[in-house]
Amino acid sequence: MKIAVYCQPDSATWIAALRRALPEAQIDRWSVALGGEADYAVVWKPPADVLPGLTRVKAVFNLGAGIDAIPDPYSIPRGVQLVRLDDAGMAEQMVEYVTYAALRCYREFGAYAGQQGDALWRPRSRLPKHEFIVGVLGAGVLGSAVARSLSSLKFPVRVWSRTMKQLAGVECFTGKEALGRFLGATRFLVCLLPLTAETRDFLDHARLSLLPPGAYLVNVARGALVVDDDLLSLLDSGHLSGATLDVFRDEPLPPQHPFWHHPRVVVTPHVSAVTLVKDSVEQIAAKIRRIEAGLPITGVVDREHGY
């Protein structure tokens, strides 16, 4: 079995880990020749010419949950499965990140840090918890983990997704008609939608304005889901109280971007849930073994919906 690896910026670590997990396979850095002979490919941010040359592969594994970094994901033949990471240690990290952001906003740690700077002893009145409604856009692997976790902290939680979900203790919404109701009550909005043709620029001025005054946004999905200028104008007008942003249209976030120094914005460098080598390689190796045994696998990207 031959496996071609193209991983920006570091194929070597992945090749070494994959060789340990699949000692029976011949695993090497992608080349045009290997691409034409490989049974599987493992990729992250491949240039446009990598996928079309994978003429014999049974599956292409993407080293991330989102496949938007693949220039033309469907330039592989129809029968070939494009497989994303599902969880692989990312749900736990995402839960940590969003929980911290929720507690920081709900308990106003940012405001207290400001008061401490002025040696100001001033308890702030707190919103009743039942009014701090958490809304999660996307209820897949990561969105549902975040929803469950915040629900276990007794926040009222709702999710919105393309197909209807059933999550214990969580109010579930679907469809464009329900979106207004969903956003209209959400005080703390978490974006965990994939970036697709349908979701690009999803959080624009019209949709963000539906959030009640004083709401917060957390974007941990992809930068292009949010229209930056629309978000900035709603933060500047005071309609939104704050935004915690881990992902951006251009990464690294350019030094001159207004998000860096905006008093209502918290910026982190795409670290909410990083790809873990050990967990990811174990998941890919297990899936390759299942495919070889003729068994179905999870995490196969749906061509029609693009995620």
Give the catalytic positions in this structure.
222, 270
Q: Which residue is nearest to ligand NDP (CB)?
A: 140
Site string for ligand NDP, 234-263 (x = CB under 6 A): ------------xx----------------
Looking at the Cβ atoms of 34 and 227, the one nearer to ligand NDP is: 227
The interface partner of residue 141, options being ligand OXD, ligand NDP, none and the CB cut-off 5 to 8 Å by kind, is: ligand NDP
Looking at the Cβ atoms of 46 and 53, the one nearer to ligand NDP is: 46
At closest approach, how far in Å is the CB of 241 from ligand NDP?
Answer: 22
Looking at the Cβ atoms of 57 and 90, the one nearer to ligand NDP is: 90
Q: Which residue is nearest to ligand OXD (CB)?
A: 64
At closest approach, how far in Å is the CB of 43 from ligand OXD?
Answer: 13
Pick the binder of ligand NDP from 23, 121, 125, 163 (CB under 6 A): 163
At closest approach, how far in Å is the CB of 87 from ligand OXD?
Answer: 10
DSSP of the chain, one letter per residue?
-EEEEEESS-HHHHHHHHHHH-TTSEEEE--HHHHHH-SEEEEES--TTTGGG--S-SEEEESSS--TTSS-TT-S-TTSEEE----TTHHHHHHHHHHHHHHHHHTTHHHHHHHHHTT---PPP---GGGS-EEEE--SHHHHHHHHHHHHTT--EEEEESS---BTTEEEEESHHHHHHHHHH-SEEEE-----TTTTT-B-HHHHHTSPTTEEEEE-S-GGGB-HHHHHHHHHTTSEEEEEE---SSSSPPTT-GGGG-TTEEE--S-SSPPPHHHHHHHHHHHHHHHHTT---S-BPPTTTT-
Residue span binding ligand NDP (CB under 6 A) among the ranges 33-41, 109-117, 256-264, 270-278? 270-278
Told to check if 283 binds ligand NDP by CB under 6 A, we report no
Looking at the Cβ atoms of 22 and 84, the one nearer to ligand NDP is: 84
At closest approach, how far in Å is the CB of 123 from ligand NDP?
Answer: 34
Give 38: exposed, middle or buried? Use CB within 10 Å, 0-12, 13-18, 19+: buried
Site string for ligand NDP, 56-95 (x = CB under 6 A): ---------xx-----------------------x-----
Joined tokens for residue 199: 């979701």
**Alpha-carbon separation of residue 162 from 36, 69, 165, 173 (angstroms):** 37, 22, 9, 9
**Alpha-carbon separation of residue 78 from 6, 33, 55, 82, 251 (angstroms):** 21, 22, 11, 10, 31
At closest approach, how far in Å is the CB of 212 from ligand NDP?
Answer: 21
Residues forming contacts to ligand OXD in the complex (CB under 6 A) are 64-66, 85, 275
Looking at the Cβ atoms of 38 and 102, the one nearer to ligand NDP is: 102
Told to check if 51 binds ligand NDP by CB under 6 A, we report no
- Report the interface residues with ligand NDP, using CB under 6 A: 65-66, 90, 138-143, 161-163, 192-196, 198-199, 220-222, 246-247, 270, 272-273, 307
